[in-house]
A and B are shown apart, each in its own frame.
Chain A
Amino acid sequence: MSKELIRLHDLCMAYDDELVLDHINLYINDSEFLTLLGPSGCGKTTTLRIIGGFTTPTSGDVTFDGVRINDVPPHKRQINTVFQKYALFPHLDVFENVAFGLRIAKVPAKEIEERVMEMLEVVSLKGFERRRVDQLSGGQQQRVAIARALVNRPKVLLLDEPLGALDLRLRKDMQIELKRIQQQMGITFIYVTHDQEEALTMSDTVVVMDKGRIQQIGTPEDIYNEPKNAFVADFIGESNILNGTMVRDGVVRMYRKEFPCVDRGFAPNEPVDVVIRPEDIDIVPVEQGQLVGTVTNVTFKGMQYDIIVDLGGFKWLIQTTDHSPEGTQVGVKIDPDGFHIMKKSEYSGLFGDYSSYSEEYEELADVSALEEEESGDEE
C-alpha cells in the first residue's frame, strides 16, 4: 500500500572486531511509524546513526528512495534527528533554535517567521519564542527539539530515546502527542527505545533487536501475540516460557500431559518453547485444574494480583483479579488460544522462569527509583 522509502541492505558495523550490527536487512515505508526496540547495546542507536549519516557502516548499503546514500553527509540528507539529550543550542533562544535549519537553508525571513510560529503551535509552545532554552522544563525542551527537526519538513524523522529523561506522566502524554504529530504531518518516524510499552503504544511496525541482530519485525499485535523466540517473548511483556513437545498439530505436551492448542505447522514430536502470557491463565479450584501447584508469592499491583505458582519446580507468573493466599494449592487452566508455540532458538531456556521473581522486581524498582532521581534533577 505505501511505498518503500529507506532500505538497509546487509548492514554490518564493527568497532575493533566487536560486531555491533550483524547483517541487518530492513525496509521502512513512507509515512510509517517504525520503532527499533531492544535492550541497551543491541545496536538500535547505531542503526539510527547510520540512517542519519553520523556513522558509516563497515559493510552494507543504505538506500533512500532507491538511491544509495552511504556517502551522503548528514547535512545533505532529507532526514532530521531528535537527539537523546535534545542537543538544543544554549546560545540561542527557542525561536532561533527552531529557525536554525531554515536560516541555513536561506529561507526568506518572513517564511521563517511563519513556519517557526506554526511549528511552535503544533508542539504547544506558543509564547515561548524568546525564552532561553535552559529556562525550559525537560518536556518543553523535548518539544523544542521536535519542532526544530520538523520545521525543516524532513521526509524522515529519527528519534533517539527522546522521552527517556521525562517522568512517567509526561512520557505518556508525549507518546500520544508524538503519534498525533506523526499522523498529522504524514512523516516517517524511526523511533529508538528500550521501553516495550512505548513501542507498542506508538508504532505501526516494531523491530525487536538484540546482539546486533533483528529478532522479529511485525505490528505491535504480532510481536506481542506471536513472538518468534524466547527473547522477544520475554522482552515484550511478561511470559512464562516452558519446554514442550509438539505432539501433532493442535496438541502440545508438557508436564507429561497433552494440552489442546491452536498452533500448527511443526514436525511431529518437535521440541518447542511454549509461551503462556500471565493474563491468559485462570486460577481454578484444584479439581478443575489442568495442572496443580502451590502459591508461593502474591503481590498486589493495583489492577491485578501478580501470583507466583510453583508448578513442578517451575515458577509461573499468573495475573488475575482474584486473590489466592500464599501457600494454598490451586488449579491452573489455560484455554487453547492461550498457548503460543515457538521453535527452539539460542534463547531457549534463558528466559521465562519466575524463580528469581522477587530479585527481578527489586532490580526493576531500583531502576525506576533511579529514573525518578534523574527526572528530579531535571526540574
Chain B
Amino acid sequence: MKNKLSRFAVPYEIWMAIFVVAPIVIMVVYAFTSQNGGFTLENFIKMGGYTEVFLRSFKMALVATAVCLLIGYPVSYYMSREGKGFQRIAMVLIMLPMWMNFLLRTYSWITILDNNGLLNQLFQRIGLITLYNNITGRELTFFPMLNTQGAVVLGMVYNYLPFMILPIYSVIIKLDHSLLEAARDLGANSATVFRKVILPLSLPGVLSGITMVFVPSVSTFAISQMLGGGTELLLGDLIERQFLGGAYNPQLGAAISLVMMVIVVVCMLVMNRFGEGEEQAVML
C-alpha cells in the first residue's frame, strides 16, 4: 500500500538526488577519467604513492576514536547515574562548545598550545620547564606542542567527543532499570551487572559513537592544517590540495575520495556485523 503522506517526502527526495546522489555519481565519473576526458585507471595507480598518507590518516582517526571512547564511555556512564539536574548541566557543558564556530574552537587551541601560548607560559611560571631542563640537561625554552600529531589528535578528540558521549549516554539512560535489578537479583554484584548487562546493552550506542567520531576524523583537513601545521599530511589535506591547491588535479582528488569512502563503508559494515542484533540504536 502506498503511504498517502509519501508525497511530502518528494522535496527531500529531490534534495537527496541533487545534493547527495548526483555528487557521488560525478565523483565516481571523475575518478575514472583522465585529464583530457578519456577512461583511465591511472588515478588509482597514482594513489599508490600516497599509501603513507592513507595509513597515517586511519591511524590518527583510530587513535582519536579510541581516546574519545575511553573518555566518553565513563563520562556517559557516570552522567546517567547522577541526578536529573546534574545530567542537564553536564549535557549543556558538553554541547556548549558545539554552539561555537568550528574554526574558532580550533584556532583557540593554537593560542593554548603555541610555543609562547597559554600552556607554555603556565609551565614556565610554575617552573616545570626549568625542572625538565635540570633533569634532562636540555635547554628548552618551551615544550613544542603545536604542529605535532598529538595536537591533531587532541583537536579531533576535542571537536568530536560530544558525538561519542551523546549516543552512548542516550542508550544507557534508556536502559530498563528493572534489568539491572533482575541481574542483581540473580546474584550479580555491581561489576558483574556492568559486564553482563550494561556493557552489552550499550554496545549499539558505542558503535554509533565510533562511527560518528571516526568518519569525520579520517577526513578532516582543517584540524590537521591548523594544529598540525601542514607538516603531517592527512587524507583530507591531500584531497583539498587536488581541488584548491597548486597541485590542481580533481580527477585524482575524486579517486582518493572514492577509495576513502569505500574503506569507511567497509569498516562500518564490518562493525555493524559485529554488533548484529543490536542494530536498533546504530542509526541514532
Q: Which residues of A approach B to under 8 Å, CB–CB?
A: 52, 54, 73-75, 79-81, 83-85, 87-91, 100-101, 104-105, 132, 148-149, 152
Q: Give the shortest distance, in Å, between A116 (CB) and chain B (any CB).
A: 13
Chain A residue with the shortest CB-CB distance to B182: A87
Are B187 and A83 in contact (CB-based, < 8 A)? no
Given contacts A83-B178, A104-B192, are A89 and B197 in contact (CB under 8 A)?
A: yes
Q: Which residues of A contact B181 (CB under 8 A)?
A: 54, 74, 81, 83, 87
B187 is contacted by which of A52, A91, A132, A152 (Cβ under 8 Å)?
Answer: A152
B277 is contacted by which of A74, A83, A91, A100 (Cβ under 8 Å)?
Answer: A91
16 contacts across the A-B interface (CB closer than 8 A): A74-B181, A74-B185, A75-B186, A75-B187, A75-B189, A79-B185, A81-B182, A81-B185, A85-B176, A87-B176, A87-B181, A89-B182, A91-B201, A100-B196, A104-B196, A105-B187
Q: How far is the CA of A163 from the CA of B156 in the complex (A)?
A: 52
Are A101 and B201 in contact (CB-based, < 8 A)? no
Q: Give the shortest distance, in Å, between B65 (CB) and chain A (any CB).
A: 23
Instruction: Decide if the interface of chain B is mainly helix, strand, loop or mixed.
Output: helix
Q: Which residues of A contact B182 (CB under 8 A)?
A: 81, 83, 87-89
Q: Which residues of B approach A to under 8 Å, CB–CB?
A: 176, 178-179, 181-189, 192, 196-197, 200-201, 277-278
Q: How far is the CA of A100 from the CA of B185 in the complex (A)?
A: 11
Q: Which residues of A contact B196 (CB under 8 A)?
A: 100, 104
Are A104 and B186 in contact (CB-based, < 8 A)? yes
Q: Which residues of A contact B197 (CB under 8 A)?
A: 89
Are B179 and A75 in contact (CB-based, < 8 A)? no
Given contacts A83-B178, A91-B200, are A104 and B187 in contact (CB under 8 A)?
A: yes
Q: How far is the CA of A67 from the CA of B192 in the complex (A)?
A: 26
Q: Which residues of A contact B278 (CB under 8 A)?
A: 91
Given contacts A89-B197, A91-B200, A91-B278, are A100 and B178 in contact (CB under 8 A)?
A: no
Q: How far is the CA of A88 from the CA of B181 in the complex (A)?
A: 11
Are A75 and B188 in contact (CB-based, < 8 A)? yes
Are A89 and B179 in contact (CB-based, < 8 A)? yes
Q: Give the shortest distance, in Å, between A230 (CB) and chain B (any CB).
A: 36
- In the A-B complex, the 9 residue pairs with the smallest Cβ-Cβ separation, listed nearest first, are A101-B186, A87-B182, A87-B178, A74-B184, A104-B187, A81-B185, A91-B200, A75-B187, A75-B184
Given contacts A75-B188, A91-B278, are A100 and B201 in contact (CB under 8 A)?
A: no
Q: How far is the CA of A8 from the CA of B100 in the complex (A)?
A: 59
Q: Which residues of B contact A105 (CB under 8 A)?
A: 187
